[in-house]
Structure 1
Amino acid sequence: MRRALLMMSILLSTGCQIDPYTHEPTWSERNWYQIGADDAMAGGMPKSAQRLTREYDDPRVDIADYKKGYARGQQRLCQDDFVYVWGLSGKEFPGACENLKETSPLRARWKEGYTGASENSLLN
């Protein structure tokens, strides 16, 4: 009988343990500035706070930091030589460079690279 009580107490005590993996996740701080800069440098259009919340599963989006980072990435990407090389690589005109006051000359420079890349591929 004593052995049965001991076995029952062991079984009951192990059944009442707390599973360490069922706690609520802790949100790590995201670098929204860097996320915005990366999105711009990838050529994409800026994302809304709702879209960022869905994509990163994080309700604490700092949209102001994201926009600052996006603007910085846009400055780096939307340069004459950079869009030329972008076109040479066969990529479409970056959406990050749309709706800027210098979009027309940038698009022309990109097209030079894009058509140059297609002419080179025909020759090879």
Structure 2
Amino acid sequence: MRCIALIPVLFLSACYVDPYTHAPTPAPTDWYQAGWDDAMSGQPIRSNLVIAHMHNDEKVDRQEWLKGYAQGQQRICDPKFLVIQGQSGKSFPASCETLPDAEIRRAEWQKGERAGFQESFMR
């Protein structure tokens, strides 16, 4: 009788896998892509401490992050893209605030915002 009771225990213990044994090793952070993603999500420029915390990686490559951020900023802060963002009801990206012509870009975004509001109001 005891043998029958031990069979399920043996089956269950044989299926146990230690979760730490097969943990994948994290890939190194692509700092260019991280900068691009931050700019495209409308985030302001961040300190190394914040970037390291966000990506769980102490070795921040600031130059690569800034290159990626600048490229993402150029894309998201394009006046035509800002009009579309305004029309869709999205807020003005904080990543565009540091540009020298931020007021002009904000005006483009506001044009889109007004057009989007009028369109939704007319429906």
After TM superposition, the score normalised by the length of structure 2 is 0.77
Q: Secondary structure at the match of 2:109?
A: helix
Q: In 2, distance between residues paired with 1:47 and 1:120?
A: 36
| Deviation of 1:23 (Å) | 9.8
Equivalenced residue count is: 106
| Distance in 2 separating the partners of 1:59 and 1:24 | 20
Structure 1 gaps, min length 5: 1-18
Q: Tell me which structure has the larger Cα radius of gyration.
A: 1
Q: Which ranges of structure 2 fall in alignment gaps of 5 or more residues?
A: 1-17
- Equivalent residues of 2:32, 2:69 under 8 A apart: yes
Considering only aligned residues, what root-mean-square deviation do their CA atoms show, in Å? Answer: 2.0
**Residues 102-121 of structure 1 mapped to structure 2, 5 A cutoff:** 102-121=101-120
Query: 1:44-96, CA deviations, whole angstroms, 9 ceiling, x for partnerless residues?
Result: 11221111211222111111110110011111111110100010110111111
Deviates more, 1:29-38 or 1:41-50: 41-50
Whichever residue aligns with residue 60 of structure 1, its letter is K
What letter matches 1:84 in structure 2? V
- SS of residue paired to 1:50: helix
In structure 2, what is the Cα distance between the partners aligned to 1:23 and 1:58?
21
Identify if the C-alpha distance between structure 1 residues 54 and 121 changes in structure 2 by more than 3 Å, giving closer, same or farther: same
- The 1:39–1:123 alpha-carbon spacing in structure 2 relative to 1, beyond 3 Å, is same
* Structure-1 residue corresponding to 2:42: 43
Offset, 1:25: 7.8
Letter of the aligned partner of 2:88 in structure 1?
S
Distance in 2 of aligned mates of 1:94 and 1:68: 18
**Alignment of structure 1 residues 1-124 onto 2, 5 Å:** 21=20, 26-124=25-123
Secondary structure of the residue that 1:100 maps to in structure 2? Answer: coil
Could you tell me which amino acid in structure 2 is paired with residue 37 of structure 1? W
Superposition deviation, residue 24 in structure 1? 9.8
